[in-house]
Homo-oligomer: A and B are copies of this chain.
Amino acid sequence: MKIKSVTSRDVAQLAGVSQSAVSRSFSPNASVSAKTRKRVLEAARQLGYRPNTIARSLITRSSKTIAVVIYSLDNPFYSSVLERASKFFQARGYHLQLFVAPLGKAFDEVIDDIIRSQVEGVLMLAISITRAQASEIAAVGVPVVIINRTVDYEGISQVSCDNYQGGYWAGQLLAASGHQRIAFLGGLIGSSTNEQRQAGFLSALAERGMTCHGVDAGNYRYEDARFATRRMFSAKQVPDAIFAANDLMAIAAMETLRHELGLKVPQDVSIVGFDDIPMASWPSHSLTTLQQPIELMIVKATELLLNQINQTESSPDHIKLPVTPMLRDSARSASISP
């Protein structure tokens, strides 16, 4: 799509100055006399001139753009992260380029695309990448920060919460409150968050001499979690407590139990989630869960990215933030004594 555009040359001509004077007039701290700048700005206004960001990027070699890669916005947790991160970067003069990462092999093309775009940084939300992919990006020197996923590669910064501790807390709570058959409703198999939450959970049970009653997976999604719940409760021995790897699945389990299987939560089955999405606090659900410090995660992730971009601190870092238990009504409570 080509449209006739007015260039700095046109403005220069109208204002009777050189083309570079126009350029300077649009640079915050360039040496131009107030008089010249005013003349230029006036001419620009008349012509409807606006500096071409692309040309500027080419020469300054800085696109002022951050790529944000997401897998899905189904989970309100990530749409919230995306919205806040956007505001954060926008406020600092950065543009955001959004990439929805497809599954599997096609992801490599997205990486390629991102690199070609000359972005200055990449923010990945819950994106699992391989070592090979990580090193490919790192090789071009673009700073990357991954939120909520771990990759075995030092060249990339990571910000996540203490998933293990969260899982541990959930296991401890459920075990301490007298549940006998505690099950795990897992997220995406193989994802680092899922494995860490599960590991913490299992170890808390083990400390009490308990084992997990059963494991099924809901891929972090609502519908899948409903199916998983039905499977879990079609067994002869049904769970009396569920720890779900995220809130969306915890709510799905709750809905299925209450409205499909005629069970009461928490009387018949206790449920604990993870994330603390807005719906978790809705009275209907009143979900006991582990709150991720979303605001802090974003601040850390964006700072990390910006620091690397500006070479302030060039070393990638791995940050692990604490989670906060939110005791609500979906799980029978009990005192936790380690």
User: Contact: A259 with B284, CB < 8 Å?
Assistant: yes
What's the Cα separation between A55 and B63 when bound, in Å? Answer: 11
Does A35 have its Cβ within 8 Å of any Cβ on chain B? no
Does A52 have its Cβ within 8 Å of any Cβ on chain B? yes
Q: In angstroms, how far is the closest chain B Cβ from the Cβ of A183?
A: 21
User: Contact: B278 with A258, CB < 8 Å?
Assistant: no
Q: Which residue of B lies closest to A115 (CB)?
A: B50
Does A120 have its Cβ within 8 Å of any Cβ on chain B? yes
Given contacts A58-B58, A80-B73, A90-B99, contact A3 B284 (CB under 8 A): no
Does A316 have its Cβ within 8 Å of any Cβ on chain B? no
Of the four ranges (under 10, 10 to 19, 20 to 34, 35 or more), the interface on chain A belongs to 35 or more
User: Contact: B51 with A1, CB < 8 Å?
Assistant: no
Copy number in this complex?
A: 2
What's the Cα separation between A150 and B301 when bound, in Å? Answer: 37
Task: Pick from B73, B86, B97, B282: contact of A83, CB below 8 A.
Answer: B73
What's the Cα separation between A55 and B56 when bound, in Å? Answer: 10
Does A62 have its Cβ within 8 Å of any Cβ on chain B? yes
Does A201 have its Cβ within 8 Å of any Cβ on chain B? no
Does A334 have its Cβ within 8 Å of any Cβ on chain B? no
**Residues on B with beta carbons closer than 8 Å to the beta carbon of A285:** 284
**Residues on B with beta carbons closer than 8 Å to the beta carbon of A61:** 1-2, 5
Chain A's interface: helix, strand, loop or mixed, by majority?
mixed
User: Contact: A95 with B97, CB < 8 Å?
Assistant: yes
Task: Pick from B5, B83, B255: contact of A100, CB below 8 A.
Answer: B83
**Residues on B with beta carbons closer than 8 Å to the beta carbon of A2:** 61-62
Task: Pick from B58, B95, B278: contact of A55, CB below 8 A.
Answer: B58
Given contacts A72-B83, A76-B79, contact A54 B52 (CB under 8 A): no
Further pairs besides A3-B142, A86-B98: 12, Cβ < 8 Å: A1-B61, A1-B121, A1-B310, A1-B311, A2-B62, A52-B58, A53-B116, A70-B83, A79-B82, A86-B100, A90-B99, A97-B98
- Partner-B contacts on A (CB < 8 A): 1-3, 5, 48, 50-55, 57-58, 61-63, 65, 68, 70, 72-74, 76, 79-80, 82-83, 86-87, 90, 95-100, 112-113, 115-118, 120-121, 139-143, 222, 251, 255, 258-260, 278-279, 282-285, 309-311
A-B contact pairs, 19 of them (CB 8 A): A1-B310, A2-B61, A3-B141, A3-B142, A52-B58, A52-B118, A54-B57, A58-B58, A68-B98, A70-B83, A72-B83, A73-B79, A73-B82, A74-B83, A90-B99, A95-B113, A96-B98, A259-B283, A284-B285
